A and B are shown apart, each in its own frame.
Chain A
């Protein structure tokens, strides 16, 4: 990992972010946890925050960012089956065209979806999914870790900013931003970390009694970090308990890894739907680094894609009541080599794929300035040439979906992204 940038200070100032952090760092008494079925508002009141109602929240729109770690192979997820160079370039990894057995699910006669992406295909046909191809951050090297870092900080190059763009985005909501963000994980990924306090939640935590937590909050009083985290945890737990009550009897009790993702998402859905719930969420899915035996229509990557598809299907189904207010962005740090490598897999590449789903999305299109797959059209003779800056997508979501001012996004959230312009009419106008 690169460490040089860790010593640099952020390139921007965000007074509201700091105020919000300072407010949340106050030692506050924790009164209850886990026993407040339906009473999260009370818990928040005990935390010194106003009893929040829908109207009091600064936004009613949701943003779910799904981060695929490891570099998903965009040409497997969204094969350009009609590109004249596709079949030869991909060899054994090529996905058949749509009329073949186990062929791609057609999008527009040129691109298709991997046959495992059935739910995504349904959303595309409903006009609720936009597909972006030949996408990349400004990063042009091939380290996972640096590539992820740049995607998560949202900068132009490493070292300019050190906290996550989504956290800075929450800073634009002022002090209330501190109630909006959550990572569905135990820990908080870089994309969501920074000065604005955010929550994290994952299934499987135990049960320390409320009285113990109350006393512990005094032990933590002089440690701002521990105080803030404990408060966030208590609030998130109260919401999750509420969500758990709603999920009761729905059979969400599986324990395998697949079920855990499903259960996490099912609870996440309830938390996002709750009136006093979180609005901006990050979900991470690992396992996309397919150096060997990645398979084509079936195999390791196909299973992985199937799991992603199932998860997005859950979100689509369960978020129906607020689907029109929801945007789901799916991104990965980079694409992979166009050609198969020596071990029936692919190595780290550049251009890749991103998805945007949601009820208000102007979907049913593949948005790309397609560079082509002929050897002469590739980046450095090996990777899909990137022609769209992933920050263009993020910027469009933040302005058109969340209604945030473009100037603030350019100044605070995605610094030095002037060249990454908005994609027009990505959302149906209300």
Chain B
């Protein structure tokens, strides 16, 4: 029983078992989780070494302005410049994606890393938008990591102000129609970020807001932009913006829609940058937000169709603590439902690739990791929409995707050293939850690679 709970701790709260790890967890499975929640984990070495978004922003702006200066030049020169920009941005993204995945494989605090992955997906920014691509690692490092055990409102505010989000959801160039810039140009409001904040980051689609609220929030958000915007404005306008790094948040009064706004029935007087701050603070502790977040957490940690009692419990803790995510996470660990059923969830591709590498316990080349995520349809930070990656078996497991997992399981098995004996490998990975069929057919397999391949392709390994 205890060892089943060790298995749940390692795979549902963590990122999969490393051989030899289960015994230690079995001694105190709750303590193993809690020790990782009670204090913030150190930032992994590979990740700490990356440049900040503010610095990166300058590089990007430099590339952009170089493009503008080249307007008179030949198409060939300009094309080469564009290609170089794309290559640079891609390289930055790849370095970050590798650092993230290798850290998740090597970490000794996998619970913390899982929380980072969960929240990063809640506040999705995606490489599907070229402009946002260089900043995706920075977003996770600067917005998500420091806040996963802090206040939800702080994470929401940091997310909304980050260059990656401002570019991804088109906020950076949204202009109030009655602002100074709005009265002189042909540009105007963009409601994309406001809508997704209400629908996806806070209240949820049934959270009780309407089109008027979307408009109100998008007006409140006007002026929230990034330092790099200067580079694309006419010179006269540039002087009206504060000095900042390319990737820094700035408030541009020039773009801000003046006047009072009404959001969810509450009137907000004109307050410049402070309007959207006040709005986000209200949204962050709203009962609909509590319910929405509680449902997503319960779906991730309990089951695709999570039990209502667990959702209510988590929502209550969220509301009572003003969105304290450490308290909410501790409450999650205390729910009997998370310990009840050993394998209700199917691993997402991200989880599967990481779990494979952790179980194999051999260094995996960067290339193979990224290729694995791509081949299974979940490249790092590349969700197809701001809703993020789905979190149900229905979304991830289908005939073709299963076949690819099976192929990968078998090829990883070939990389596992000869010294590893299959039945010991089975014990060390899925041991506590292994089915009789899996054990029998693993024991009967004609050679090591086949046997270990069967373990890695088994339902027990693909579930958590």
Contact present for B437 and A225 (CB under 8 Å): no
Contact of B402 among A6, A144, A226 (CB under 8 A): A226
Return chain B residues, CB-CB under 8 Å to A223. Answer: 435, 459
Return chain A residues, CB-CB under 8 Å to B245. Answer: none
Within residues 161 to 213 of chain A, which ones have a CB less than 8 A from any CB in chain B? 183, 185-188, 190, 193, 199-202, 204-208, 211-213
Stretch at the interface among B182-190, B321-329, B333-341, B360-368: B182-190
Contact of B400 among A143, A190, A200, A213 (CB under 8 A): A200
- Residue picked from B205, B299, B442, B444, most chain A C-beta under 10 Å: B205
Within residues 205 to 234 of chain A, which ones have a CB less than 8 A from any CB in chain B? 205-208, 211-213, 215-216, 218-223, 225-226, 229-230, 232-233
Return chain B residues, CB-CB under 8 Å to A204. Answer: 375
Contact present for B205 and A219 (CB under 8 Å): no
B397 CB to closest chain A CB, in angstroms?
Answer: 6
CB of A84 within 8 A of chain B? no
**Smallest CB-CB separation from B411: which chain A residue?**
A206
Stretch at the interface among A248-256, A314-322, A340-348, A392-400: A340-348
Return chain A residues, CB-CB under 8 Å to B154. Answer: none
Contact present for B376 and A186 (CB under 8 Å): yes
Given contacts A212-B453, A291-B192, contact A188 B394 (CB under 8 A): yes
Interface SS majority for chain B: helix
B30 CB to closest chain A CB, in angstroms?
Answer: 28
Q: How far does the alpha carbon of A204 sit from the alpha carbon of B195 in the complex, in Å?
A: 37
CB of B143 within 8 A of chain A? no
Return chain A residues, CB-CB under 8 Å to B377. Answer: 186-187
CB of B206 within 8 A of chain A? yes
Q: How far does the alpha carbon of A345 sit from the alpha carbon of B170 in the complex, in Å?
A: 10
Contact present for A7 and B190 (CB under 8 Å): no
Q: How far does the alpha carbon of A345 sit from the alpha carbon of B410 in the complex, in Å?
A: 47
B236 CB to closest chain A CB, in angstroms?
Answer: 20
A197 CB to closest chain B CB, in angstroms?
Answer: 9
Within residues 359 to 392 of chain B, which ones have a CB less than 8 A from any CB in chain A? 375-377, 384-385, 387
**Smallest CB-CB separation from A220: which chain B residue?**
B459
CB of A410 within 8 A of chain B? no
B109 CB to closest chain A CB, in angstroms?
Answer: 30
Return chain B residues, CB-CB under 8 Å to A145. Answer: 199, 205, 385, 387
CB of A237 within 8 A of chain B? yes
Q: How far does the alpha carbon of A146 sit from the alpha carbon of B387 in the complex, in Å?
A: 11
Contact present for A233 and B375 (CB under 8 Å): no
Q: How far does the alpha carbon of A429 sit from the alpha carbon of B170 in the complex, in Å?
A: 49
**What total count of A-B pairs have CB within 8 Å?**
169
Given contacts A219-B457, A347-B191, contact A143 B399 (CB under 8 A): no
Return chain B residues, CB-CB under 8 Å to A13. Answer: none
Return chain A residues, CB-CB under 8 Å to B395. Answer: 187
CB of B102 within 8 A of chain A? no
Contact present for A187 and B396 (CB under 8 Å): yes
Contact present for A341 and B206 (CB under 8 Å): no
A290 CB to closest chain B CB, in angstroms?
Answer: 11
**Smallest CB-CB separation from A227: which chain B residue?**
B459
**Smallest CB-CB separation from B436: which chain A residue?**
A222
Given contacts A144-B387, A212-B453, A286-B384, contact A229 B406 (CB under 8 A): no
Return chain A residues, CB-CB under 8 Å to B402. Answer: 226, 229-230, 233
Return chain A residues, CB-CB under 8 Å to B453. Answer: 208, 212
Contact present for B205 and A206 (CB under 8 Å): no
Return chain A residues, CB-CB under 8 Å to B384. Answer: 69, 286
Q: How far does the alpha carbon of A222 sit from the alpha carbon of B460 in the complex, in Å?
A: 11
**Smallest CB-CB separation from B198: which chain A residue?**
A143
Return chain B residues, CB-CB under 8 Å to A144. Answer: 385, 387
Given contacts A1-B205, A1-B387, A219-B441, contact A186 B404 (CB under 8 A): yes
CB of A297 within 8 A of chain B? no
CB of A101 within 8 A of chain B? no
Q: Give 1 or 0 for each of A339-370: 1 = CB within 8 Å of chain B CB.
A: 00111110110000000000000000000000
**Smallest CB-CB separation from A236: which chain B residue?**
B399
Return chain B residues, CB-CB under 8 Å to A6. Answer: 304-305
- Residue picked from B400, B435, B441, most chain A C-beta under 10 Å: B400
A192 CB to closest chain B CB, in angstroms?
Answer: 9
CB of A142 within 8 A of chain B? yes
Given contacts A292-B170, A347-B192, contact A206 B399 (CB under 8 A): no
Given contacts A69-B384, A343-B190, contact A215 B441 (CB under 8 A): yes
Contact present for A143 and B199 (CB under 8 Å): yes
Q: How far does the alpha carbon of A146 sit from the alpha carbon of B385 in the complex, in Å?
A: 13
B435 CB to closest chain A CB, in angstroms?
Answer: 6
CB of B398 within 8 A of chain A? yes
Return chain B residues, CB-CB under 8 Å to A344. Answer: 187
CB of A83 within 8 A of chain B? no
Q: How far does the alpha carbon of A223 sit from the alpha carbon of B430 in the complex, in Å?
A: 15
Q: Give 1 or 0 for each of A235-264: 1 = CB within 8 Å of chain B CB.
A: 011000000000000000000000000000
**Smallest CB-CB separation from B453: which chain A residue?**
A212
Contact present for A2 and B205 (CB under 8 Å): yes
Contact present for B397 and A187 (CB under 8 Å): yes
CB of B175 within 8 A of chain A? yes
A33 CB to closest chain B CB, in angstroms?
Answer: 9
Given contacts A143-B199, A226-B459, contact A343 B406 (CB under 8 A): no
Given contacts A216-B454, A289-B385, contact A2 B206 (CB under 8 A): yes
Q: How far does the alpha carbon of A205 sit from the alpha carbon of B458 in the complex, in Å?
A: 18
Q: How far does the alpha carbon of A142 sit from the alpha carbon of B195 in the complex, in Å?
A: 9
Return chain A residues, CB-CB under 8 Å to B454. Answer: 212, 215-216, 219
Contact present for A185 and B204 (CB under 8 Å): no
Contact present for A292 and B190 (CB under 8 Å): yes
Q: Give 1 or 0 for each of B437-456: 1 = CB within 8 Å of chain A CB.
A: 11011101100001001100
CB of B34 within 8 A of chain A? no
Return chain A residues, CB-CB under 8 Å to B187. Answer: 342-344
Contact present for B406 and A236 (CB under 8 Å): no
Return chain B residues, CB-CB under 8 Å to A146. Answer: 205
Q: How far does the alpha carbon of A218 sit from the alpha carbon of B398 in the complex, in Å?
A: 19
CB of A408 within 8 A of chain B? no
CB of B295 within 8 A of chain A? yes
Return chain A residues, CB-CB under 8 Å to B437. Answer: 218-222
Q: How far does the alpha carbon of A110 sit from the alpha carbon of B79 in the complex, in Å?
A: 39
Within residues 179 to 235 of chain B, which ones have a CB less than 8 A from any CB in chain A? 182, 187-192, 195, 199-200, 204-206, 211, 214
Given contacts A2-B206, A142-B211, A212-B453, contact A199 B410 (CB under 8 A): no
Contact present for B195 and A193 (CB under 8 Å): no
Return chain B residues, CB-CB under 8 Å to A4. Answer: 206
CB of A99 within 8 A of chain B? no
**Smallest CB-CB separation from B343: which chain A residue?**
A223
Q: How far does the alpha carbon of A222 sit from the alpha carbon of B440 in the complex, in Å?
A: 13
Q: How far does the alpha carbon of A103 sit from the alpha carbon of B206 in the complex, in Å?
A: 42
Q: How far does the alpha carbon of A52 sit from the alpha carbon of B299 in the complex, in Å?
A: 41
Return chain B residues, CB-CB under 8 Å to A225. Answer: 393, 397, 459
Return chain A residues, CB-CB under 8 Å to B385. Answer: 69-70, 144-145, 289
Q: How far does the alpha carbon of A125 sit from the alpha carbon of B442 in the complex, in Å?
A: 61
**Smallest CB-CB separation from B374: which chain A residue?**
A204
Return chain A residues, CB-CB under 8 Å to B387. Answer: 1, 144-145
CB of A108 within 8 A of chain B? no
- Residue picked from B204, B385, B396, most chain A C-beta under 10 Å: B385
A5 CB to closest chain B CB, in angstroms?
Answer: 9
CB of A425 within 8 A of chain B? no
Q: List 28 A-B contacts (CB under 8 A).
A: A1-B204, A3-B204, A141-B205, A143-B205, A185-B398, A186-B376, A186-B401, A186-B404, A187-B377, A187-B397, A187-B398, A188-B398, A199-B399, A205-B400, A211-B450, A215-B450, A216-B457, A222-B437, A225-B397, A225-B459, A226-B402, A230-B406, A291-B170, A341-B190, A342-B174, A345-B190, A347-B192, A380-B211
**Nearest 7 CB-CB pairings of A with B:** A342-B188, A206-B407, A233-B399, A232-B399, A186-B401, A200-B398, A223-B459
8 extra interchain contacts, Cβ-Cβ under 8 A, other than A206-B407, A225-B459? A2-B204, A187-B400, A202-B400, A208-B403, A219-B438, A226-B462, A232-B399, A291-B170
